[in-house]
Structure 1
Amino acid sequence: MSTAKPVADPPSLEQQRLLVSRILSSALFRKSRKLATFLQFICEQQQMGKADSINEQRIGTEVFGRNEGYHMGEDSIVRSQARFLRIRLQEYFATEGKDEPIILTIPKGSYVPEFHLRELPAEPVQAVATLVSHIGYTASTPSDTESPEPPPKRSSFWIYVAAGFGVVVCLALGIGWWLRGEEHRHAGVPVEVRFWASIFDSQRTTILVPADSSLVLMDELIGREITLSDYMNRKYRSTVPPPEMTRIWNQLLTSQYTNVVDLRLVSALERLPEVDHSKTQVRFARDVSVSELKQNNVILIGSTRANPWVDLFSSAGRFRVGYDSNTHTNLVENRNPGPGEKARYDEAADSADHLAYGVVSYLPSLDGESSSLLIGGTSKAGTETASEFLLSPRFIAFLRTLDTKGGALPHFEILLSAQNLNGNSYQRTIVCYHIL
């Protein structure tokens, strides 16, 4: 992305308004109503000469509907959305707005927008002209009183060589600029934005599926795990439970239970600026079909025991969050472990370590056209570990270690561990990860 600097004569108000209009009508901002409203509000205030009144408290009440005098220390909605807005503007000027003559920025520590003229790189023709001047070739005009002598054949030869060399240099510089533009087209977009944009793809619907928590209770009632096949074909509905459990079984069959950790994650994901709410659905696991999961991007939350759809992706990754019914242990299987890795990581809820495990898997979509995301854990604390890591600066730092070329990110899976204290996780650590 080209740089920008303040100038003595800033862009006119009309130029500023036209730029804001183009930004708000871009695909990047059309799919994020909150960020568009945020940007429109601060720009309108600045252009009306009310820059001094643009502050966190006012944005919180005017844009995000917070009550007058709300506690900004406890509610960071404005600060977090401002960060996303800066990222989205950077992405706009690196992609759709790469040819904009004016750049809009929101400096850190402020909410007042600034408009700068873009610094453009030198044109290739200028570089060619400079290079040609260095090789000493200039055109001369004959005088009116003198008849020019025919140039020697040797001179014509060198003129053709210089001209040909100039053309080659021009082509080389043009190709170089184009290649460099392609290389940096993605590099100007923050890696976390590219990651989430691949999940919340504007061309496809993204389905978020929290865990079906009733299944774990149903497994316990019938003494076996309900498999993916049983779940897909609804065969579990014809299972006959012990007589004394019939009333509870029937209640579980007709109820839609999930857990608060999954709901918190869904809520956090829906606030991401990359989310297009018109193309995002939250579905209860039992209401989803295989064909829907194959045709769309998917975010699955939970282990195979609470969300059997996870097993549809079993061939794509090496980690599988499951359950050992013989030892009554929640665990993470590590198929084809690497050096120093274990083949199985058992949750140690009853030991002194109180270890829980979480997994974040970024995998190809079932049709291979896009990407999907799986978040699961050996318990509530394990899923919480994976969820909080996914939304933390540590995850962004991890993505940056994979982002060597600035293009599409490779698929991967991460195994995390955490101390489990009364269902809450702390001291989270990356155990190992695989690039797929």
Structure 2
Amino acid sequence: MSGNIEDLKERRIGADVFDRPVDYDTNSDHIVRSVAGEVRRRLGQYYAQSGTDSEMRIDLLAGSYVPQFRMVGEQPVPAAAAALPAVAMETKARTWGWWPPAVVLAICTVALVVWIASRAGGRATALEGFWKPLYSASTPVLLCVPGGGSGPNATEVQEPGTVIDFALAPSRRIHVYDAMVLAEVTGLLRANGKAYRLLNRAGATSFRDLQSGPFVLIGSLNNEWSLRLTKDFRFSIVSNGSGARVVDKQDPSNEAWRVEPNTPIEQMRRDYAIVSRFRDSQTEQTAVILAGIGPWGSLASGEFVTNPEYLKKLAGFVPANWRKRNLQVVISTDVIHGSSGPPNILAAQLF
């Protein structure tokens, strides 16, 4: 209405209306085109009804996201010409003063269609908002799980030659809780039609692997890449001879988020984890890191990022635009007789 039609571009609408990242792939994510087609269909249905012949018409031509308002008998301006501000301003000057109830109803109908589609397409749940940068990537998601050595420089061992030895080789072992996190993440990706590939040896993951597309790193002290990529963030996990803890660089004296490795299982009360989602400047890829101090923390981090009921609680800790920002969340989970409870948010940071 203000004549700023140069802003009505697919990518801008996707970011502002449907909460997509500003650099999302419009080739693979066609939400704007789909909703525009639905708006055109609804307008056509409305004007096909009897009693609308004398009403002002709203056109949304194919190939354009600029609505046109015209009187009955006038022809819509071709899409290319409609992109010119002068035409839009002229149309506005002719039609701004007269808004019959039927036209208002038509506009409200269009607005309702867009609102419903935006809720379904981008703002329905925090779950989709968290994972959308990975869904919209054109390449598969790399899943990196610790097993058989944890560091990037871990020594490659010669695989045994027999079938049974191969199956029982240390390089093939994954902690059961890490496997549970992996199952939750792969189930979510599969349900959303997102391809993925798996590396079950964190120590064999190369920098080139991480450059190939978005990636998810599971684990912390047993996944050197998790520690390396988050060491300069506000929240990180550090360990020494007496234990491991989540360090808050804004409150480095805080020792509360700590786990002692020699604690008997029956006396273990709480574990901690850091969930990070960010655009990594080194690999130029979107990264999700699920880093628990202990196995219960890792399991809780997997539950947190795959359950919309947990993710929606972020609203109490960070601004509403967190979907488009780099994010860190510190969570805890109560441990009772060796079993973990639901994740609880302790702190969060956008950057």
Same fold judged by TM-score > 0.5? yes
Residue 287 (str. 1) matches residue 204 (str. 2): yes
Cα drift, residue 394 of structure 1: 3.0
Residue 274 (str. 1) matches residue 189 (str. 2): no
AA partner of residue 342 (structure 1): N
Match of residue 142, structure 2, among 203, 207, 224: 207
Q: Does the 8 Å contact 1:347/1:354 carry over to 2?
A: no
Residue 299 (str. 1) matches residue 216 (str. 2): yes
1:29-428 alignment, distance < 5 Å: 94-101=31-38, 122-123=58-59, 125-126=68-69, 166-167=90-91, 169=93, 188-190=121-123, 191-212=126-147, 214-215=148-149, 231-234=151-154, 255-272=171-188, 273-277=191-195, 280-284=196-200, 285-303=202-220, 305-315=221-231, 317-325=233-241, 327=242, 329-337=243-251, 342=254, 345-347=257-259, 349=263, 354-367=269-282, 369-398=284-313, 404=320, 409-426=324-341, 428=343
Cα drift, residue 357 of structure 1: 0.8
Q: Does the 8 Å contact 1:363/1:411 carry over to 2?
A: yes
Root-mean-square deviation (CA), in Å? 4.6
Cα drift, residue 198 of structure 1: 1.0
| Structure 2, gaps ≥5 residues long | 1-24, 48-56, 60-66, 73-86, 97-106, 158-166
TM-score by length of 1: 0.49
Name the CA shift for 1:100/1:125 in 2 (closer, same or farther; >3 Å): closer
| Structure 1, gaps ≥5 residues long | 1-27, 32-90, 105-114, 131-162, 216-225, 238-250
TM-score by length of 2: 0.60
> Number of aligned pairs?
263
Name the CA shift for 1:119/1:399 in 2 (closer, same or farther; >3 Å): farther
Partner Cα separation in structure 2 for residue 420 and residue 344 of structure 1? 16
Partner Cα separation in structure 1 for residue 211 and residue 88 of structure 2? 55
2:14 — aligned with what? none
Name the CA shift for 1:399/1:420 in 2 (closer, same or farther; >3 Å): closer
Cα drift, residue 397 of structure 1: 0.9
* Structure number with larger C-alpha Rg: 1
Cα drift, residue 293 of structure 1: 1.2
Partner Cα separation in structure 2 for residue 298 and residue 388 of structure 1? 18
Partner Cα separation in structure 1 for residue 301 and residue 217 of structure 2? 12
Cα drift, residue 122 of structure 1: 4.1
